[in-house]
Amino acid sequence: MTLKKKILIGYGVAFALMVLVVAWAITNLVSLGRATDAILSENYRSILAAENMVDALERQDSGTLLLFLGEREKGITQFRENEAVFLEWLARAKDNITIQGEAELVRSIETDYSAYRKQFSALTDFRETNKAALEPTHYQDKAYLPFVKVRETCVGLRNLNEETMYAASLGAGALARRAIWSTALVAASALIVALMFSLFLAERIVQPIRRFMEASRRISSGDYSVQVPVKTGDELGHLAREFNQMSLQLGRYHEINIDQIIAEKNKGEAILSSIEDGLVVFDTQLKMAGINPAARRMLKLEFTESSTLQCMDILPDQQVCDLIRKTVETGAQPNIPDEQRIIVLPDGEGSRHYFFSVTVIWGRDRNLSGIVLLLRDVTRLKEVERLKSEFVMAASHELRTPLTSLGMSVDLLMEHAAAGLAEKDRDLLQAAHEEVHRMKALVNDLLDLSKIEAGRIELEFESVSVTTLFGHVEAVFRNQTEMKQVSLESELANESLKVRADANKVTWVLSNLISNALRYVSQGGHIRFAALRIGAHVHLSVSDDGPGIPPEYQSKLFQKFVQVKGQEAGGTGLGLAICKEIVRAHGGTIWVESPAGQGSTFTFTLPVAP
C-alpha cells in the first residue's frame, strides 16, 4: 500500500466519523424541531382562538349593557361586529381540534353561544315591542348568565390547551437533553477512535522519517556507510532505497575527489598569493572571510590575526565600508566614477594611494554569498600625475609671458603696418593673430585646469538662487542667440530653489555648456536649460536639438583635448574637462545623454543650500 493510500485511509476514517456525528446531531435536531412544531400547531393556535373569543365575547357583553342603558343602536352595532369576530375565531378553533376533550368544549361553546345570541335577539325584540326601558333585572337573567357560561367554556378551552402545551414543552425539554447527551457521547466516541487511529497512522509514517534524520546526521558527520532499513513497499520504502544508493555514491565521490579538492584549493591559494594587487573577501555580515598576502601588507595585518575582523577594523575609510554594506543590501554591482574610487592609507611618515573596486560573489540560485574588495597601488601613478600637473602649470606660466608679448606685437602690426602690406601678407598676419589668441586661450585653460586638479582653486561658497544663475546666463547669450535665430528657454520646477556654490564658477560651467550648444545647433533650433531638485541635490541641465554626440565619444567627452570628429571645431578641447573639475570641487557629478540624432543633454548636480 502506498503512502498516499495510507494517508487517504486515515482522512477517510476521520471523515466517516465526522459524518456519523453530524448525521446523529441532525437526526436529534429534526426530532426536536418536530416536537416544537407540534406544540405550535396543536396548542398555540387553539389558545389564540380562545383568547380572541373571550375578548370578542366581552365586547358583545359591553354592547348588551349599552342596550340596557338606552343606547340601542350603538349597543346592537357593537354586538353584531364582535359577533362576526367571535364566529371567525370559533371556526378556527373547530379546525384545530387536536387533543382529547377539545371537541366537546368547542361544541359546548357553539351551543352556549347560540343560546346567548338568541337571548340578545329576544332582548332587542322585547325592546321594539315594549317601548319602555329595559330593567336591570332583565340583564342579570337574560344576558349576563349566558355570557358567563360561554366565557367560562372558552376559558376552559384555553386552560386545556395551556396544560397540554406545558406537558409538551416538558417532553421537548427531555428530548433536547437526551439529544445533547447522545450527541456528546457519539462525538466523544468518534474523537477517541479518530485520535487512536491518527496516532497509529502517524507512528507508522514518522518512524521511517526518524531513521532518515538519524542517517542524515551520520552522513553530515562524515559517515557515508550508513544505510536505512527498507521495511515497507510505499514511497518511504522507495525513498529509503534511493537514500542508501545516494549514501554509497557520496562515499565513493568523497574518496575520489578529496585529493583533487585539496589540490585545487592549494592552486587557488598559490594564485592569490602571486597577485600583487590586494584582495579581501567579506561575507554578508561584513566579516573578513579571506585575504591574500598583498592585502595583508597593504593593510598592515599580521598573518596570525583572526579572520573574524570587521570591515571597519581593517579599513579606516568609512566610505568604502558603507559602499560594501550598500552592495550587500542591494545585491547590485556598485557604479561609481573612477575619481571617487581612490582611498589613502598611511604608510610610515607618508601615505599611499589605492584604487579600489567592489565585486559581488554570487552563490547558487543567484544568492549573494560575499563581496571581493580589490586594492591596486596607484601611488606611483598619482605621483606622476602630480608631477605632470605641476609641469603643465609651470609651462603654462612660462608660456603666458612670451605669448602676451607676441600677441601685442601682432596686434600692433595689424594696427599700424597692415595697411601697407600686400593682401597675402595681411592674410598671414590675420592668421597669426588668430593662432596667438587661440594659444593664449589654450594656455589659460591649461593653467585653470592644473589649478583645479591640484586643489589650488579657491571657491567662494554661498547660497545662490538658480533663477539668478539662469537669468545671468540668459542675458549674456541673448545677442548671440538672436543673431543665430536660436530659441533659448529656461524651465524651473521651483523658482525659490537655491544651491550652495560659487556663483562665478557655476556661471562659467553653464556658459561653457550653452556655448557648445550654440556651436552645434542649427539655425532656428532650441536650447533649454532646466533645474530640478532630487533629494539633497539640484540637477541643472542644458539641452539642445543639435546633431547629438556619437556613442563612442560620450564616455570620454570629459577628458582633456577630446573633440568629436566630423563636427565643427572651435575650442581647445579643455572646456568640458574644466567643467567636470569645477563640478567635482562642488561635490557633484556631470554627465551627458545623447540619443542618436536627437540632440544632447548635459546635466550636473550641486548641493541644495541649507
Tens-digit pLDDT profile for residues 445-496: 666 666 666 555 677 889 999 999 988 888 888 888 888 888 888 888 777 8
Nearest-angstrom CA–CA distance, 29 and 180: 10
pLDDT digit string, tens, across residues 226-267: 777 766 666 667 777 777 777 777 777 666 666 666 667 677
Q: Average of pLDDT values for 118-141?
A: 64
The distance from CA 304 to its chain's CA centroid, rounded to whole angstroms, is: 47
List phi, psi (to 5°) of 344. -115, 125
Q: Using CA atoms, how far apart are residues 175 and 382, in angstroms rounded to an integer?
A: 102
Residue 546, burial from CB neighbour count under 10 angstroms (0-12, 13-18, 19+): buried
Confidence at residue 113, expressed as pLDDT on a 0 to 100 scale: 84
C-alpha 236/C-alpha 242 separation (Å) is 10
Residues 6+ apart with CB under 8 A from 430: 414
Stretch 583-595: mean pLDDT = 88
Q: For 582-609, what is the mean pLDDT? A: 88
Mean pLDDT to the nearest integer, 14-27? 74
Q: Is the pLDDT of residue 282 over 80?
A: yes
Rounded Cα–Cα distance for residues 139 and 120 (Å): 10
| Bridge partners, 489 (sequence order) | 528
pLDDT tens digit sequence for 91-112? 888 887 777 888 888 888 888 8
594-606 average pLDDT score = 88
Q: Coil, helix or strand for 234?
A: coil
**Which domains, from first to last, does the chain contain?**
3-197 (1.20.120), 222-274 (no CATH), 275-377 (3.30.450.20), 384-453 (1.10.287.130), 462-607 (3.30.565.10)
What gap in Å lies between CA 123 and CA 173, rounded to an integer?
52
The per-residue pLDDT for 500 is 92
DSSP string, 520-579: HSPTT-EEEEEEEEETTEEEEEEEE-SS---HHHHTTTTSTT---TTS---S-S-HHHHH
Residue 402, phi then psi, degrees to nearest 5: -65, -35
Q: Which of 45-54, 305-314, 358-367, 520-529 has the highest mean pLDDT?
A: 520-529
Give the H/E segment covering residue 441: helix 423-453
| CA gap 75, 68 in Å, rounded | 9
More confident: 128 or 47 = 47
Question: Do the Cβ atoms of 548 and 418 come closer than 8 Å?
Answer: no
Gyration radius of the chain's alpha carbons: 55
- Name the one residue in this structure whose C-alpha cell is 599580521: 302
How far apart are the two ends of the chain, measured CA to CA in Å? 78
Q: What is the mean pLDDT of residues 394-403?
A: 62
Strands (E), 149-195: none
Q: Do 511 and 468 meet the contact criterion of CB atoms below 8 Å apart?
A: no
553-585 burial: b if 16+ Cβ within 10 Å, else e:
bbeebbebeeebeeeeeebbebbbbbbbbbbbb
* 33's grid cell: 424541531
Most confident of 290-299, 322-331, 439-448, 520-529: 520-529
Max mean pLDDT among 66-70, 280-284, 381-385, 535-539 falls in 535-539
Nearby residues of 165 by Cβ (< 8 Å), 6 or more positions away: 39, 42, 43, 44, 47
Looking at residue 132, its pLDDT comes to: 45
pLDDT digits (tens, 9 = 90+) for 418-452: 777 777 777 777 777 767 776 766 666 666 666 66
Are 503 and 470 spatial neighbours (Cβ–Cβ below 8 Å)? no
Which has the higher per-residue pLDDT, 199 or 135? 199
> Who contacts 529 (Cβ-Cβ below 8 Å, separation ≥6)?
470, 473, 489, 490, 491, 510, 513, 514, 540, 541, 542, 543
Residue 248 grid cell: 554509497
Residue 602 predicted with pLDDT over 90: yes
Lowest mean pLDDT among 253-257, 352-356, 522-526, 568-572: 568-572
Q: pTM of the entire structure? A: 0.41
pLDDT tens-digit map of 201-231:
777 777 777 777 777 787 777 776 777 776 6
Q: Which tens digits make up the pLDDT trace of 146-203?
A: 888 888 888 888 888 778 777 777 776 777 777 778 777 877 887 888 778 777 777 7
Count CB-CB contacts under 10 A for residue 599.
21
Can you tell me which residue has the cell 540619443?
Answer: 595
Taking a C-beta distance cutoff of 8 angstroms, is the pair 74, 66 a contact?
yes
User: What is the reported pLDDT for 421?
Assistant: 76
Q: What is the pLDDT of residues 327-348, one digit of tens each?
A: 888 877 777 766 677 888 877 7
Element containing residue 345 per DSSP (H, E):
strand 342-347
**372 backbone dihedrals φ, ψ, rounded to 5°:** -110, 125
The number of C-alpha atoms within 13 Å of 99 and in the hemisphere containing its C-beta is: 23
> What average pLDDT does this structure show over 125-139?
57
Q: Is the pLDDT of residue 499 over 90?
A: yes
Q: What is the number of other CB atoms lying within 10 angstroms of the CB of residue 489?
A: 11
3-state secondary structure of 98: coil
Amino acid in position 591: W
Pairing of strands 487-492, 526-534: parallel
Q: CB-hemisphere CA count at 13 Å for 116?
A: 26
- Residue where the block lists cell 545677442: 479
Range scoring the smallest mean pLDDT among 105-114, 237-246, 287-296, 533-542: 237-246
